[in-house]
A and B are shown apart, each in its own frame.
Chain A
Amino acid sequence: SQTIHQWPATLVQPVGSPLSLECTVEGTSNPNLYWYRQAAGRGLQLLFYSVGIGQISSEVPQNLSASRPQDRQFILSSKKLLLSDSGFYLCAWRDRAGGLWEQFFGPGTRLTVL
């Protein structure tokens, strides 16, 4: 069966500090991978998605970046965090080859920027 891991679960960072959130998927190959953010009282905002190694598409301009160094690894980064970067970050995957439309989410990372 497939599983998705995210870490850390919670993170408190000062403004201006760097960020690195990691997501890995097990039990599948060549998945689509996604980063979402849920800000307080708001829905899920798609930040990045990737259809393969080294392939990143960005949905919104921001000071965040994403990378996919391996097939089942997706990393969300920032060089300098802003207060507005606080939120709940979710990684998700989709089995594109299996023809399924559903995305499956990880447990999330709660980021607080102070």
Chain B
Amino acid sequence: DQQVKQNSPSLSVQEGRISILNCDYTNSMFDYFLWYKKYPAEGPTFLISISSIKDKNEDGRFTVFLNKSAKHLSLHIVPSQPGDSAVYFCAATFNNNDMRFGAGTRLTVKP
């Protein structure tokens, strides 16, 4: 049961442009959402999060938007840099114990 979905397996953008990664969820109980970044052969690293009581959270070049009615969130990276090339995982949780991850989107930023 895939409760968190990232329907785009890959995304390619030019350096300096905006990267938009999308995530959809099905469980309306989720109340906290996170984005992780993962390089090959490494563990994911936490990037940014948002509580369900907010619709936007910004941290430098990274902004996460949450649309609860559509059960949709997105991560905006602007401007994109080649070092942003990685796999990005969307995650959601509604209790203190577990977290559900999407399948990931591979972002490639071309110089």
Contact = CB atoms under 8 A, between A and B. Distances in A.
Interface of A: 32, 34, 36, 42-46, 49, 51, 57, 59, 88, 90, 92, 96, 101-108, 110
11 contacts: A32-B97, A43-B102, A43-B103, A46-B98, A51-B97, A57-B97, A57-B98, A90-B44, A92-B43, A96-B96, A101-B34
B99 interface: yes
Interface of B: 6, 32, 34, 36, 41-46, 49, 89, 91, 93, 96-104
A88 B6 CA distance: 20
B32 A101 contact: yes
Contacts of A108: 41-43
B21 to A, nearest CB: 13
Contacts, number: 55
B46 A102 contact: yes
**A-B pairs with lowest CB-CB distance, top 7:** A105-B43, A43-B103, A44-B101, A102-B46, A101-B32, A105-B44, A43-B101
Contacts of A59: 98
- Which interface residue of B36, B41, B43, B91 has the most chain A CB atoms within 10 A? B43
Given A43-B104, A107-B42, A108-B41, A102 B34 contact: yes
B97 A101 contact: no
